[in-house]
A = this chain, B = another copy of it.
């Protein structure tokens, strides 16, 4: 299955914007089949950011399987979002450490078992980072979150079936939580 006829080659790149959360680069790439009357290399815009971790925390209750989720305000969408816990890697962390830390900070829960279930580019067309997904089980509640001063995160238990059926409609507005569910189904 040779796909070499689809592969572009980056010949140079330049940083054109920078902020706390991401930077933007111009990537200059040669097409697989250079064409007439076309600039070559072409310019593509790429967003660089640290990797992210997302955790699906599962709790078995007498009422059935539930997910531990968090309500938070999202400044891109300007909307409330009900999500699995997660966030940005700290420098030096590996994926599992980032996942366990974010779970603890946002919810106060610590898992006995945390297992990687998949890895994606959040958007390979325009982003260069990765998002790593974990399943967390056998959770213990420490009773307190560890939030930054400007973080407002409210935890809640939601019936797994309500999340599965609710995805793609508010308050389940975060596409990467749908990705997490697809991996949950795959590993279920």
Contact = CB atoms under 8 A, between A and B. Distances in A.
A108 interface: no
A145 interface: no
B173 A121 contact: yes
DSSP class of A's interface residues: helix, strand, loop or mixed? mixed
Q: How many copies does the complex hold?
A: 2
Contacts of A125: 74-76, 174
The size bracket of the interface on A is: 35 or more
Given A81-B124, A167-B183, A179-B175, A19 B6 contact: no
Given A17-B24, A76-B124, A125-B76, A183 B168 contact: yes
Interface in A78-104: 78-81
Nearest to A87: B125
A181 interface: yes
Given A6-B73, A38-B149, 7 more contacts: A19-B26, A21-B45, A31-B152, A47-B76, A81-B124, A118-B169, A123-B174
